[in-house]
Structure 1
């Protein structure tokens, strides 16, 4: 790892095709700053992404990367980390990618507690496919395919993570650049699965959950004196249906990541011919 890496070293030469003003610009900048601030560099970083507006983020970042299929970014990230526990693995996704088709993988990635970070760009809309309601859309959110709203409560990804045994849960706002980068940095530094749900407004298809809305309503937990090590306090924050929160909501300081629990410390990316059969037990658990 290099101590003099700058966040611009993580920028690729590919220009993002996101809509001007998209929250994903700020989300990605914070991810790059966090990686640089933690002493990582492109040569020891692997970014995995799925499908959606967030899906090409690995193309826009200068690192090892894989653009996978819808909802399957977390299994890929898990495989990369288990094969190469020495590198930094960051998984990026969206609310549709992660909390709909990818919801099952999310639950199991959380409970395994693999040492990687998961940054979800939550704009409460399907942006890439032109504005359908997503799992986190409000129940009365009107779109062309749900003219009267989805008529069902939105998924609460923070509650889903806590109930699945998460060791780190946080939420940030892409427009609050310094705070967002700080929160992602804490997720990277956490020993285990670092989950950050990022409010990343869609300026084209969502005129409800806007930059102004989050600026006016977000409550910063750090300023409120919230103790992220207090499980009950974290549950109260997560289940509070009246406010939107930013900050580290829950962190288990005694967290032991999966690869340490099972003694996976060496490079497993190449398995030599004639390897002992029992050496494949850990691999089989994931397939």
Structure 2
């Protein structure tokens, strides 16, 4: 566990006075309302550690690390009140390189550990860093239940569609037919779509971004940080050793604008080099690509990330394919629902009001007990 060389160690007193910024949920609070702020200006250097960053040269993790370290000073939070929890995998080295508190935990169990931390410490901003193998294979059950419960934590899911740390086996997001050391004749497994999975689990904040697009990545992180409840951000991340150029079409200047659909709440869903293409909702509830010049502007779908009905967000998540015909990025869903933490604290306060504060020592010494001398 790595500590922070921060100033002060103040913790929240449980009051609902807001320290955070950004749009609040229906409760009147953001995820950062109870997290103590610093009165000292922070920079990227404040979030770097003295640890040598040990990823393969050219790994997309470097870009994500730099983006996170550059973005966190904007929040103005005390570094000792920020925690990164990781599982096992290349991405899980992340806590070593963040000058905050951190926990390099167990394979697939980061959401469970982070749940305990977030529910017991409302004065912390809790982040989970995981990979497609860590989160969606051994950790799949923990992931979906964190999303279902709407625990106040942020999950960064690095998706490179391969197992990198264990040297290139296919992962739960690898495409059918993927040839790897563990599937020499091609994978037979149909891959998970992390965005569809998260929306299906009733995730209240679900987004996708790309390691190489720093501006977009940081804009999504800003929105996720303020969200009260679980925020899942899938980050397409290149593994240049075992799955190089897996997302190259989305980075190729010649084709990326024609296949990348940038979602912005409240705006028509258009794309293309000249915004000449658009999405139109079909009678069956899915989407189809149309030419803007050929349709009435009223027919063009408008993105509504705040719609409580997840059907539109789910339909958008189904647009991408292994061939990357069309890939939406941005915030698919951002809706209000009380977080598990809020509900739990309210229930505990009600119990105290009805039954008193309680005495743990008396409880342990009551009932069917005996003493051995």
- TM-score over 0.5 (shorter chain): yes
Q: Which runs of 5+ in 2 are unaligned?
A: 1-36, 270-301, 350-357, 364-373
Q: 1:235 matched to which residue of 2?
A: 314
Distance change (3 Å), C-alpha of 1:23 and 1:276: farther
CA-CA distance at 1:32 after TM superposition: 2.5
Q: 1:274 matched to which residue of 2?
A: 360
CA-CA distance at 1:44 after TM superposition: 0.9
Normalised by the length of structure 1, the TM-score is 0.88
Q: 1:245 matched to which residue of 2?
A: 328
Q: 1:112 matched to which residue of 2?
A: 149
Bigger RCO of structures 1 and 2 (CA < 8 A, at least 6 apart): 1
Normalised by the length of structure 2, the TM-score is 0.68
Matching residue within 236, 239, 243 for 1:202 = 239
Matched, 1:220 2:262: yes
Q: 1:261 matched to which residue of 2?
A: 343
Q: Partners of 2:70 and 2:262 in 1: how far apart?
A: 20
Q: 1:283 matched to which residue of 2?
A: none
Q: Deviations over 1:208-229 (max 9, x none)?
A: 514x322134321137352212
Q: Deviations over 1:61-118 (max 9, x none)?
A: 1110010111010111111111111111001000000000000000100011011100
Matched, 1:138 2:175: yes
Distance change (3 Å), C-alpha of 1:255 and 1:8: farther
CA-CA distance at 1:20 after TM superposition: 1.0
Q: Partners of 1:144 and 1:262 in 2: how far apart?
A: 46
CA-CA distance at 1:197 after TM superposition: 0.5
8 Å Cα contact 1:5/1:40 also seen in 2? no
Q: Deviations over 1:40-69 (max 9, x none)?
A: 232110110010001110001111001011
8 Å Cα contact 1:5/1:41 also seen in 2? no
8 Å Cα contact 1:27/1:121 also seen in 2? no
Q: Which is further off, 62-71 or 222-231?
A: 222-231
Q: 1:2 matched to which residue of 2?
A: 38
8 Å Cα contact 2:238/2:245 also seen in 1? no
8 Å Cα contact 2:319/2:328 also seen in 1? no
Q: Deviations over 1:3-35 (max 9, x none)?
A: 622233111111211011111111222222332
CA-CA distance at 1:276 after TM superposition: 8.0
8 Å Cα contact 1:170/1:197 also seen in 2? yes
Q: 1:122 matched to which residue of 2?
A: 159
Distance change (3 Å), C-alpha of 1:276 and 1:47: farther
- Counterparts of 1:46-195 in structure 2 under 5 Å? 46-195=83-232
CA-CA distance at 1:256 after TM superposition: 1.4
SS in structure 2 opposite 1:187? helix
Moved over 3 A (4+): none
Q: Which is further off, 234-243 or 62-71?
A: 234-243
CA-CA distance at 1:175 after TM superposition: 0.7
Distance change (3 Å), C-alpha of 1:153 and 1:63: same
8 Å Cα contact 1:170/1:246 also seen in 2? yes
Q: Partners of 1:172 and 1:276 in 2: how far apart?
A: 52
Distance change (3 Å), C-alpha of 1:276 and 1:10: farther
Q: Which runs of 5+ in 1 are unaligned?
A: 267-271, 278-287
Q: Partners of 1:61 and 1:86 in 2: how far apart?
A: 19
Distance change (3 Å), C-alpha of 1:47 and 1:276: farther
SS in structure 1 opposite 2:345? coil
Q: 1:285 matched to which residue of 2?
A: none
